[in-house]
Structure 1
Amino acid sequence: MRSTNVILLPLGGVLVSGTIHNMFVGNLFPPASIHSLEFNDETDSLTLVKTYKADSPHAWISFDHAKKNIYGVSVNASSIASYRVTSPTSVELARSFPPTGVCTNTTSAFIEAMTSPPYYVFSAAWPQPCGMSYSVDADGTLADVLDRWTYTPSSGVHGLALNEVDGQQLLYSADLSGDLIWTHAVNLTTGKVAEVGRLGVGGTGVHPRHLAAHSNGKYLYVVNEANNSLAQFELSPQRGEAVKESVRYRLIPEKENNTQYWSAEVMLSPSERYLWATARAQRDTTNHGFISVFLLASDGHIIKEMLRVPTTTVGGWANAISPAIWSDEYAAMTDYPQGYVQMFKLDGKIETEYGIEYTTATPVSKVDIADGGCCANVIWYS
């Protein structure tokens, strides 16, 4: 990141002026690639820097706590990979190994790393319902499998979120086909996980896909793929498990038919004041997807849906939204099969009784990566 001119806003938003920010994005399908990109927040320009050969196509990639490594899970059930970040724009493969035990021959869907010691890493797979935990070497490279666990026979876990509640490290799982939210506790000595609870999401066929946890340990946000909604769940203050759905918002206009959409992603802005969520249009339609941004209170509860705007294309398989780590105003969104990364910026700033709000989000730049496999999700390096 090549600037230090930082302005902190009183309500937690962060603006960085005239900075080059780096990010990586993986390919969802072949060719197996990881792409390095740069974004200039002064000119709002986005550039593809270089493309690297990957171990396999990755459904999801994530950083370790220090951003010295990228972890990737495979869509073709071949491997879990660990890449060393050698510069803000370059990576190299450090290790790759196949899923083992109950996770053999599964399609890996998600990977997430702890941000505090001992920095364990967790993956989820579907349709075979299983999870794995991993230890890491001193440099952050994936080392050993510590635990493997299953869900129910009808489960298909698609998303994970980590959070610490009252000193306990917790792992949340979005069970898409089982219509459940799982809570597991992590043993910080052994890396093994134990079920704390499971909660239905309000009927069959809702299909919770991805989730995000607020750092204060009170709320969990879940995007439901099939009924195109965002649900807020309250967490137990004693055990940290999801115990009750307190509010649900529709992610597509009321006039739209649910069957023509399948919602995709939910992520928090860096200050946790705004919550971004996306809905993809089904691949066989000509509809556009949607981006929604929600306004959160300081304790994490949703105050209201602040805005909803259409995306520029259908969305297809992806529509993975990745809020910038350096500003509440920016987010990167991917699209497969169109093959691009696009930057959106919050606009129409107003002062309300709740503080700073925005009335819309505008696409400001886009880079096409038309190799036939891009793009899965973006992770921000700087």
Structure 2
Amino acid sequence: MPALKSCFILGVLATIVNAAVHELIVGTFVSKALYTLAFDDEDNSLELIANISTPVPSSWISLSHDKKHLYGTDYIYVGADHNRTIPPVYVGYTIHNSSSITLDKSLSGVRPCNGSSIYIIPSPNPPHAVYGADYWGTPGCGCVMSVDASGALSEVIQDFEYLNDSGVHGMSFSPGSQVLYSADTLGNYLWTHAIDPTTGRLGEVLGMAEGPSPKAHPRHVVTHPSGKAIYAVMEGSSEVAWYTVDSTTNVPTMQEPMYSLLPSGTNGFSYWGDTLALSASAKYLWATTRAKNDGVPGYIAVYELNCDGTIVKEKFLKETTTSGGVANALQPAEFSDRYAALTDNEIGFVEIWEMRGDGSDADVIARIDLADQGNARYASGCCANAVWLN
């Protein structure tokens, strides 16, 4: 009972603890830039701080555990070309402040890994290794990178393979970083790898859970802080699946029910599931799906969770402003359960959504357009995902 009480107290506090101004960093698909933004939770303004030139676009960015460094993908759209011959490249930056972010180093994977880098995530636990995944390559691969004493990228310490037809688009750790979970979108698996606690290198494959259906295609995965549950969003079926985790092996087992990110009767082939993430207190799980056609809205949903990670119920499901393009990527704030940033690529904007105190609904309270030059694939060069600096 004490643990349950503590969990709900944390959930309450996370809805009321606010500073005035919070800063975000936004990645891109085409533009060689990082955008930094300031959100004021008192007047609900969202303003551009800086447009920082970078050597490459980063379709996914992640912060180090101390938020002194930023890690990103060197993103190149390949599409149906599974014979890409260039290994994936990852980049690391030092964050001096929200107006000054400078390149530390670029690191390249090794052959036969030959896809475009698509995802990157640092471990929150020592030795704080950084893990990357590539896409559109054969075989599907991942990469483990070490960091120096400051947290800057140092060197590639391991390249590892999934399957020939794999394409991992999201990763998550167990609470102590004993294992790495990988959402294999193209292979339709959820992988569990052991992690060496000393080096950060991956060890044996502990489990390979097939997608809930042949065309489910897990895209992103997130771990509940209790370590007892993980969640995955399915790109192919626009559903959220949840899994209980074996306390001894850390291997997940899928549970029922699954939760659709689409209203009843909607043609699922017109949508593709995108992101999911936990609120600050882990009392809520946010998730999104995108529409495949511009002019058709995607959807955003929130689910209430128990302290052990069990999904209690869906709180709401509603349309997003646009299709999201290839984004509709959300990132809940770390200072409150109420706020989440949502990126759009159909037009090229970032929105801040605010959830009601009881979690029953949410609305857009701030928006900034960052539309810039796109290409044949992307209507706008911006916006990929966003991360909160504070």
Instruction: Report if TM-score (shorter chain) is over 0.5.
Output: yes
Q: Secondary structure at the match of 1:95?
A: strand
1:377 is matched with which residue?
385
1:69 is matched with which residue?
69
Residue 113 (structure 1) aligned with residue 86 (structure 2):
no
Amino acid at match of 2:236: A
Amino acid at match of 1:20: V
Gaps of 5+ in 2: 1-8, 77-86, 374-380
Amino acid at match of 2:174: N
Distance, in Å, in 2 between the alignment partners of 1:181 and 1:38 is 36
1:352 is matched with which residue?
none
The superposition leaves residues 274-313 of structure 1 with CA deviations (integer Å, 9 ceiling, x where unpaired) of 000001111x353201110000011111000011121111
Task: Indicate the structure with greater strand content.
Answer: 1
Q: 1:232 aligns with which of 230, 242, 259?
A: 242
| Residue 12 (structure 1) shift | 4.7
2:261 is matched with which residue?
251
| Residue 88 (structure 1) shift | 3.5
Q: Secondary structure at the match of 1:11?
A: helix
Residue 301 (structure 1) aligned with residue 298 (structure 2):
no
2:366 is matched with which residue?
365
Amino acid at match of 1:326: F
Residue 86 (structure 1) aligned with residue 87 (structure 2):
no
Amino acid at match of 2:75: V
Identical aligned residues as a percent: 36
Amino acid at match of 1:130: C
The superposition leaves residues 180-222 of structure 1 with CA deviations (integer Å, 9 ceiling, x where unpaired) of 1000011122332121111112221111100110011111100
Q: 1:318 aligns with which of 323, 327, 333?
A: 327
Amino acid at match of 1:192: R
Q: Is 1:147–1:191's contact at 8 Å kept on the other side of the alignment?
A: no
1:22 is matched with which residue?
23
Q: 2:161 aligns with which of 147, 150, 172?
A: 150
| Residue 107 (structure 1) shift | 1.1
2:111 is matched with which residue?
101
1:353 is matched with which residue?
none
Q: Is 1:22–1:89's contact at 8 Å kept on the other side of the alignment?
A: no
1:59 is matched with which residue?
59
| Residue 341 (structure 1) shift | 0.5
Q: Secondary structure at the match of 2:27?
A: strand
Q: Is 1:64–1:140's contact at 8 Å kept on the other side of the alignment?
A: yes
| Residue 161 (structure 1) shift | 0.7
Amino acid at match of 1:278: T
Distance, in Å, in 2 between the alignment partners of 1:301 and 1:13 is 19
Q: Is 1:61–1:379's contact at 8 Å kept on the other side of the alignment?
A: yes
Q: Secondary structure at the match of 1:332?
A: strand
Gaps of 5+ in 1: 1-7, 350-356
Q: 2:172 aligns with which of 161, 180, 185?
A: 161
How high is the TM-score relative to the length of structure 2?
A: 0.89
Q: Is 2:232–2:240's contact at 8 Å kept on the other side of the alignment?
A: yes
Distance, in Å, in 1 between the alignment partners of 2:295 and 2:26 is 26
Q: 1:140 aligns with which of 151, 162, 166?
A: 151
Amino acid at match of 2:22: H
Residue 264 (structure 1) aligned with residue 265 (structure 2):
no
Distance, in Å, in 2 between the alignment partners of 1:341 and 1:247 is 32
1:196 is matched with which residue?
206
| Residue 236 (structure 1) shift | 1.2
1:209 is matched with which residue?
219
Amino acid at match of 2:359: Y
Q: Secondary structure at the match of 2:174?
A: strand
Distance, in Å, in 1 between the alignment partners of 2:302 and 2:354 is 11
Distance, in Å, in 2 between the alignment partners of 1:125 and 1:78 is 6
Q: Secondary structure at the match of 2:264?
A: coil
| Residue 99 (structure 1) shift | 2.5
CA 1:178 to 1:329, structure 2 compared with 1: closer, same or farther past 3 Å?
Answer: same
2:43 is matched with which residue?
43
The superposition leaves residues 110-152 of structure 1 with CA deviations (integer Å, 9 ceiling, x where unpaired) of 1111112111110111122100111100111100111111111
Q: Is 1:56–1:78's contact at 8 Å kept on the other side of the alignment?
A: no
Residue 334 (structure 1) aligned with residue 335 (structure 2):
no
Amino acid at match of 1:155: S
Distance, in Å, in 2 between the alignment partners of 1:237 and 1:92 is 41
Say how many residue pairs are matched: 362
| Residue 337 (structure 1) shift | 3.1
The superposition leaves residues 328-375 of structure 1 with CA deviations (integer Å, 9 ceiling, x where unpaired) of 00000001131110000002x3xxxxxxx3221100010010113101
CA 1:43 to 1:125, structure 2 compared with 1: closer, same or farther past 3 Å?
Answer: same
1:3 is matched with which residue?
none
Amino acid at match of 2:370: I
Distance, in Å, in 2 between the alignment partners of 1:71 and 1:170 is 20
Amino acid at match of 1:377: N
Amino acid at match of 1:233: Y
CA 1:206 to 1:10, structure 2 compared with 1: closer, same or farther past 3 Å?
Answer: closer
